[in-house]
Structure 1
Amino acid sequence: MNITALEKMLAKGNDSAMLRFGLGKAYLDDQNAEIAIGHFRHCVGMDPSYSAAWKLLGKALLQGGDASEAETAWQQGLAAAQEKGDKQTEREITVFLKKLSKR
């Protein structure tokens, strides 16, 4: 789905963690980290166990130039992934954290 269609769903009051994740990802893919960050923060506010949202929130924060906040988001995402048994996201976040520590 494109950003316009997702924004229309949100405007109709269909707010959900999944919709916010989709909007965040769409804006991140569109190189608009600032708007993506807002949607990802809303998403994890609605569902703190949404490990994939924490992962992309970290990417958006890093893209926006805030490495410290990205690390914090990834730490929270790592904890959420471990709690849910989401091994793939756990591996990806671990790699992001290692790369960040080498910067």
Structure 2
Amino acid sequence: MNPRIESLEKLLGGPRDGALLRFSLGNEYLKADAPRQAADCFRAAVDRDPNYSAAWKALGKALTQAGESAAAADAYNDGIQVAEARGDIQAAKEMKVFLRRLQKSA
């Protein structure tokens, strides 16, 4: 297994376990071409912090790579709402682009 993943997994359940840790672990799983595990981590990140725009965007990406287009579209839609509510205009724009691409490919 990837040593970075192993080191992050050791922190799960500890005092540092939170949205950022789950997001970081999800990114490592994406790099390791494990989109389903990445999606699980990103879901855990948004469960811990529903306003984490970057985690919503990454969740959509992971679900797309895992072949779960409907779930990816839902994640992007939720993420767009969160980003717009927070004033995170760039993240909202990016997710709208990814959502349109996903819809075109379907």
- Per the normalisation by structure 1, the TM-score is 0.92
User: Alpha-carbon deviations, 1:53-82, whole Å to 9, x = none?
Assistant: 011101111111110000000000001110
Structure 1 residue ranges without an equivalent (≥5): none
1:68 to 47, 70, 75: 70
Residue aligned with 1:2, SS: helix
RMSD: 1.5
Kindly provide the amino acid, as one letter, of the partner of residue 51 in structure 2: S
How far, CA to CA, are the matches of 1:84 and 1:11 in structure 2? 28
1:9-67 CA distances to partner (integer Å, 9 max, x unpaired)?
A: 22545310110000011101211011111111111111111111011101111111110
Greater than 6 Å deviation, 4+ residue runs: none
- Structure 2: where are the runs of 5+ without partners? none
Matches within 5 A, 1:1-103: 2-10=4-12, 12-103=14-105
**What's the TM-score once normalised by structure 2's chain length?**
0.90
Return the alpha-carbon distance in structure 2 between the equivalents of residues 88 and 42 of structure 1.
23
- Tell me, in whole angstroms, the C-alpha distance in 1 between the residues paired with 2:74 and 2:27: 19
Count matched residues.
Answer: 103
Q: Tell me the amino acid that sits aligned with residue 53 of structure 1.
A: A
